[in-house]
Copies of this chain bind each other. A is one copy, B any other.
């Protein structure tokens, strides 16, 4: 006999976190990569709902913050800092330049060097995004004590020590 469809209907607030039966997860739960990716997926989804209604990506926020805090920063410095490659950097900067949030200017001393600065519109959007970003962050920060949060950040930063 078929179960009523309604019995498996779920809402966003009532979504099952796990499938109902017992899973065999093989090696996955022991893998650092799997666990980081799962956390990242949750963060990404909440970010898309909380910050700029999904119109901007986390990397765009980080780039705005760094350009604002370091006016004239070179494209390559920003890319190193964000850990992203040149092609992705170009695409990222296009997305910030197109709505007029950043300006790219070439250094007169070294034509290969591009300096980046925020426009007035960029400054305004950054301030608004930052409020939403902190709201998004609080939702996750409250899962941890201050000590746990510091330890988590400290453990995560070790990944940056691996040469890739």
Point out residues on A near B: beta carbons under 8 Å: 2, 12-13, 15-21, 23-43, 45-47, 49, 58-59, 62, 65-66, 68-70, 73-74, 76-78, 80-81, 83-84, 109-110, 130, 133-134, 136-137, 139-141, 143-144, 148-149, 151-153, 155-164
* Contact A38 B160, beta carbon cutoff 8 Å: yes
* Contact A43 B49, beta carbon cutoff 8 Å: no
Partner of A136, one of B33, B69, B152: B33
**Given A137-B31, A143-B158, A159-B42, A2 and B110 contact (CB-CB distance below 8 Å):** yes
What's the least CB distance linking A40 to chain B, in Å? Answer: 5
Q: For A43, list chain B residues within 8 Å (CB).
A: 32-33, 36-37, 159
What's the least CB distance linking A112 to chain B, in Å? Answer: 9
Q: For A78, list chain B residues within 8 Å (CB).
A: 19
* Contact B45 A164, beta carbon cutoff 8 Å: yes
Q: How far is the CA of A161 from the CA of B142 in the complex (A)?
A: 11
Q: For A62, list chain B residues within 8 Å (CB).
A: 28, 34, 37
Q: For A109, list chain B residues within 8 Å (CB).
A: 2
Q: How far is the CA of A117 from the CA of B102 in the complex (A)?
A: 49
Q: How far is the CA of A36 from the CA of B154 in the complex (A)?
A: 11
What's the least CB distance linking A45 to chain B, in Å? Answer: 4
* Contact B110 A66, beta carbon cutoff 8 Å: no
**Given A80-B17, A159-B43, A141 and B69 contact (CB-CB distance below 8 Å):** no
Partner of A35, one of B32, B130, B148, B156: B156
